[in-house]
Chains A and B, each alone.
Chain A
């Protein structure tokens, strides 16, 4: 005998209510002076015993009624064989079927894939599920973005069979913790007496792993599910349908070579593909094919050592600007989903740069931006274009006439002042995604700049300008310190050890002291200058504004305030900074399966409808959504397949063809390709409070548990019957006793 809701037995205390009422009534009496006490005492003596017995009987019945009521609410059940005749199946089964791409692993023996085994197990469970009035089931498809195919407890077994039968391996990875949240939700919706969870998976090691900071939360989640399922003959059954072979080579990464932030036309671009061998055997002579915009451009024979990674570089020169797609594909192996990887890039003819020169000089050394221009376009070799910048230089007084919206990057070099109109144009430009680099110098009038561009933090300047500092006449110099190599603009140096020391060789003699103030999330210091006996002076300060970025360099980019151009690192530094500021981030075009496609429309791209074409050539119409007063974006969540998705603007008036806006490369999670299993002892050790029954293969033995009748959960019905009977008896006895009296 057990209780489904033992806490409700506390309501049994209500059984004392009749006693309390009895005692209370004894305290609430009418008082009478009475003469005929002799007769009263005689009557009392005669009836006392009978009355006591009658009262005790009534009191006992009333107490029993309340205790039985509390017991009925606590839902008692019997586990003994004697209870079997009273039992009826009342089970909620949550079937969790792994449909991640690792379930499609087909070994050399050409046996069934784990998914085919899982399908059999799930169908077996559904077939054995008793479809009584009380039995229910839920069906959850396990991926890293799990889907409750049947979330509400249902008795529609036919629908469940159809979903299971139609289930195919997706391109998604696995997250058991995330899936278990859906399991918990399904269990909480259940009102069934017995609750069982069947987790059918290939039991990959990485599927169970979570970041360390989430370990406690996940452990609590597993514990909660265990507690929800443990009582009344329920439980969690882990069907491990995975194999023991882990032979698999995957393309785990495809990206431009480090430091390549901008891909421009007519310039050879290096791409790097990373191949990983998860298996214990070296793979030799595998063919890796390269596709550019869907056309095969070449192939490579690669050898990947066991448990190791190799990189394969290849080059391509784009002749046309606009969106392009690159893909690499390996020979077919046991798991095909991770053999192909795509990359979407925006190829620019050139990055358009407006340089506003505040101090035009006659020589390389005296011109404010000569060194900077040379750094951005260093090549004199005309055979192959290597410069990616198209630079337009104007003087300070010509700045007002320029439409900054035509440019990708605006460099403001040593401008004495800046007008409010210019500031407004700059800020609109930055918010729309443009990049601005502000270089300071001796001409800069701090007060005017602060009033126009700082505005107590409202303007585009990252910080308030104070006054020039340092050592006049380059009599002394200082070096950079506190370099944030994690910043995207500088990470190239961290990845290129030969260049990293060059940053610290840049020499600066004067700079503008600034007041950064309290930390703000949109402001970040990339590097500072070492100042003897004082706090480092910020040198590069970034401020994000809307979709764009502003970088303040507190020193000059020429020889006036230092010797930076003399050092080779100067070229790479300003090239990286310029690319970072001017180039749209590529990473938003390259996402993982399940992540949504989100595209912010430019003003000239707006239309009423757009179309997303999936790798399976399915077309989905997408309507623009408003993101602000003049801003619209597109969102598409159906990235269930890996591959290239194209986003097109539907033909507008006067157009016959749709316009390709961009490509999106949607790739699988490479970790999912590592099909090494989590062993049962490891799992129990990792989550000791996760109570489960481990079944290596879906033998059907555990499935039969479904068919076993649940313990007699309907004892409460008999209790309610007994309560009603007792109430009738009490009424009858009370009337009978009362009539006697």
Chain B
């Protein structure tokens, strides 16, 4: 256990460490690891042949094949490289909501810390971006035990008191990350779906592997209230006194509509979308997702 932070739970880490976080697409990296580099030709593990085209580096011509078939083929190699991951953690005021369990931010931070630990265990590098209406903290990806402590410390120091502008933040972060890698967005996604999807598209445009972990409180999903309630809106929303029973149906429709739109948008962009609620144990939520992701990877 690298740290005794509240966000690093031994039980969680033990459960998820048995699963490797593998990017679905090949990643380029500086550190050798389990992730395949998109750069062929200078590594040790042969991958495939392809026909020579003018301009190819003649160093990778397979002369043996030329001798046997009088054709020019270029040898391509696969090289496993390190994964550069960035975890984008929403620290807006809405993440401070809790019904009975821990707040969404605490839950999300636990996921973030766990993933960071897992990534670094694989000798990959992990970075952290804290944001609300703008990026409030940008920790570059590194791979060292000390770096995990930095990430955790930053999360613990985060204050959830500002509004969200997720679309803007995603565009900003997408511009800041220069290298392709893994981007994990952990947020309650309290913004316009189109803005969110636009921001995510920006990452995909930069050829990042993107995972969206949508953190919601159970109450936000179930809306279990049955007596007159005053809802004091976070992030500058006004208060509202309503009979929740009369609104429940419409509310759940809104939730479904939103999540469906996000889910479909992610699917279209080949982004993993995972919805978790704070009443679920973090290890269960993460391990089930990672197991699913790994099985997909192996299927390919």
Which A residues are closer than 8 A to B by beta carbons?
25-26, 28-44, 46-47, 51, 54-55, 737-738, 740-741
Q: How far is B244's CA from A741's CA once the two chains are assembled, in angstroms?
A: 9
Q: How far is B235's CA from A41's CA once the two chains are assembled, in angstroms?
A: 14
Q: How far is B247's CA from A55's CA once the two chains are assembled, in angstroms?
A: 13
Contact A41 B237, beta carbon cutoff 8 Å = yes
Q: Does B299 contact A (CB under 8 A)?
A: no
Contact A36 B249, beta carbon cutoff 8 Å = no
- Chain B residues whose CB sits within 8 angstroms of the CB of A740 once the complex forms: 249
Contact B251 A29, beta carbon cutoff 8 Å = no
Chain B residues touching A, majority SS: mixed
- Chain B residues whose CB sits within 8 angstroms of the CB of A44 once the complex forms: 240, 242, 247, 250
Contact B97 A35, beta carbon cutoff 8 Å = yes
Q: When the two chains form the complex, which single residue of B217, B237, B255 contacts A37, counting CB atoms closer than 8 Å?
A: B237
The closest CB in chain B to the CB of A31 belongs to: B230
Minimum CB–CB distance from B67 to chain A (whole Å) comes to 68
The closest CB in chain B to the CB of A29 belongs to: B228
Given contacts A36-B220, A37-B240, A51-B246, contact A29 B227 (CB under 8 A): yes
The closest CB in chain B to the CB of A45 belongs to: B250
Greatest chain A CB density within 10 A among B231, B232, B233 is at B231
Minimum CB–CB distance from B246 to chain A (whole Å) comes to 5
Given contacts A37-B240, A44-B240, A47-B247, contact A31 B254 (CB under 8 A): no
Q: Can you name 20 A-B pairs with beta carbons within 8 Å?
A: A26-B228, A26-B241, A29-B241, A30-B228, A34-B97, A34-B231, A35-B94, A35-B96, A35-B104, A36-B97, A36-B255, A40-B231, A41-B237, A43-B253, A43-B254, A46-B253, A46-B254, A47-B250, A737-B246, A741-B249
- Chain B residues whose CB sits within 8 angstroms of the CB of A34 once the complex forms: 97, 231-234, 237
Contact B258 A39, beta carbon cutoff 8 Å = yes
The closest CB in chain A to the CB of B258 belongs to: A39
Q: Does B5 contact A (CB under 8 A)?
A: no
The closest CB in chain A to the CB of B220 belongs to: A36
The closest CB in chain B to the CB of A25 belongs to: B228
Q: How far is B234's CA from A560's CA once the two chains are assembled, in angstroms?
A: 123
Minimum CB–CB distance from B276 to chain A (whole Å) comes to 15
Q: How far is B252's CA from A740's CA once the two chains are assembled, in angstroms?
A: 12
Question: Given A36-B220, A40-B242, 4 other A-B contacts at CB below 8 A?
Answer: A30-B225, A40-B254, A43-B251, A54-B246
Contact B234 A35, beta carbon cutoff 8 Å = yes
Minimum CB–CB distance from A463 to chain B (whole Å) comes to 87
Contact A38 B190, beta carbon cutoff 8 Å = yes
- Chain A residues whose CB sits within 8 angstroms of the CB of B232 once the complex forms: 31-34
Contact B230 A40, beta carbon cutoff 8 Å = no
Contact A47 B246, beta carbon cutoff 8 Å = yes
Encode contact with A along B265-276: 1 for CB under 8 Å, 0 otherwise: 000000000000
Minimum CB–CB distance from A286 to chain B (whole Å) comes to 97
Q: How far is B227's CA from A33's CA once the two chains are assembled, in angstroms?
A: 15
- Chain A residues whose CB sits within 8 angstroms of the CB of B229 once the complex forms: 29-32
Q: Give the total number of A-B pairs whose CB atoms are below 8 A apart.
A: 104
Q: How far is B238's CA from A41's CA once the two chains are assembled, in angstroms?
A: 10
Contact B231 A741, beta carbon cutoff 8 Å = no
- Chain A residues whose CB sits within 8 angstroms of the CB of B230 once the complex forms: 29-32
Minimum CB–CB distance from B162 to chain A (whole Å) comes to 13
In chain B between 94 and 112, which residues have their CB closer than 8 angstroms to a CB of chain A? 94-97, 104
Q: How far is B107's CA from A77's CA once the two chains are assembled, in angstroms?
A: 70
- Chain B residues whose CB sits within 8 angstroms of the CB of A29 once the complex forms: 227-230, 241
Contact A28 B190, beta carbon cutoff 8 Å = no
The closest CB in chain B to the CB of A55 belongs to: B246
Q: Does B293 contact A (CB under 8 A)?
A: no
Chain A residues touching B, majority SS: helix
Q: When the two chains form the complex, which single residue of A33, A35, A737 contacts B188, counting CB atoms closer than 8 Å?
A: A35
Contact B246 A741, beta carbon cutoff 8 Å = yes
The closest CB in chain A to the CB of B256 belongs to: A39
Q: When the two chains form the complex, which single residue of B97, B235, B247 contacts A40, counting CB atoms closer than 8 Å?
A: B247
- Chain A residues whose CB sits within 8 angstroms of the CB of B179 once the complex forms: none
Q: Does B133 contact A (CB under 8 A)?
A: no
Minimum CB–CB distance from B255 to chain A (whole Å) comes to 6
- Chain B residues whose CB sits within 8 angstroms of the CB of A741 once the complex forms: 245-249
- Chain A residues whose CB sits within 8 angstroms of the CB of B93 once the complex forms: 35
Nearest 9 CB-CB pairings of A with B: A43-B250, A35-B97, A37-B237, A35-B94, A37-B233, A34-B231, A43-B251, A39-B254, A29-B228
The closest CB in chain A to the CB of B238 belongs to: A37
- Chain A residues whose CB sits within 8 angstroms of the CB of B251 once the complex forms: 39-40, 43
Minimum CB–CB distance from B159 to chain A (whole Å) comes to 16
Q: How far is B247's CA from A46's CA once the two chains are assembled, in angstroms?
A: 9
The closest CB in chain B to the CB of A737 belongs to: B246
- Chain B residues whose CB sits within 8 angstroms of the CB of A37 once the complex forms: 231, 233-235, 237, 240
Q: How far is B49's CA from A615's CA once the two chains are assembled, in angstroms?
A: 153
Given contacts A26-B241, A37-B240, A43-B251, contact A32 B234 (CB under 8 A): no
- Chain A residues whose CB sits within 8 angstroms of the CB of B247 once the complex forms: 40, 43-44, 47, 51, 741
Encode contact with A along B142-184: 1 for CB under 8 Å, 0 otherwise: 0000000000000000000000000000000000000000000
Q: How far is B188's CA from A44's CA once the two chains are assembled, in angstroms?
A: 21
- Chain B residues whose CB sits within 8 angstroms of the CB of A35 once the complex forms: 93-97, 104, 188, 190, 217, 220, 234-235
Q: How far is B253's CA from A42's CA once the two chains are assembled, in angstroms?
A: 10
In chain B between 42 and 75, which residues have their CB closer than 8 angstroms to a CB of chain A? none
Minimum CB–CB distance from B198 to chain A (whole Å) comes to 17
Q: How far is B259's CA from A36's CA once the two chains are assembled, in angstroms?
A: 13
The closest CB in chain A to the CB of B95 belongs to: A35
Minimum CB–CB distance from B221 to chain A (whole Å) comes to 9
- Chain B residues whose CB sits within 8 angstroms of the CB of A39 once the complex forms: 220, 251, 254-255, 258
Minimum CB–CB distance from B282 to chain A (whole Å) comes to 19
Contact A738 B245, beta carbon cutoff 8 Å = yes
- Chain B residues whose CB sits within 8 angstroms of the CB of A26 once the complex forms: 228, 241
In chain B between 114 and 159, which residues have their CB closer than 8 angstroms to a CB of chain A? none
- Chain A residues whose CB sits within 8 angstroms of the CB of B249 once the complex forms: 47, 740-741
The closest CB in chain A to the CB of B245 belongs to: A741
Q: How far is B224's CA from A32's CA once the two chains are assembled, in angstroms?
A: 12
- Chain A residues whose CB sits within 8 angstroms of the CB of B216 once the complex forms: 36
Minimum CB–CB distance from B99 to chain A (whole Å) comes to 8
Given contacts A38-B190, A43-B253, A741-B245, contact A33 B234 (CB under 8 A): yes
Q: When the two chains form the complex, which single residue of A31, A33, A55, A737 contacts B97, counting CB atoms closer than 8 Å?
A: A33
Q: When the two chains form the complex, which single residue of A30, A46, A54, A737 contacts B227, counting CB atoms closer than 8 Å?
A: A30
Contact B228 A28, beta carbon cutoff 8 Å = yes
Minimum CB–CB distance from A734 to chain B (whole Å) comes to 11
Minimum CB–CB distance from B217 to chain A (whole Å) comes to 7
Contact B255 A41, beta carbon cutoff 8 Å = no
- Chain B residues whose CB sits within 8 angstroms of the CB of A36 once the complex forms: 94, 97, 188, 190, 216, 220, 255
Q: How far is B251's CA from A34's CA once the two chains are assembled, in angstroms?
A: 13
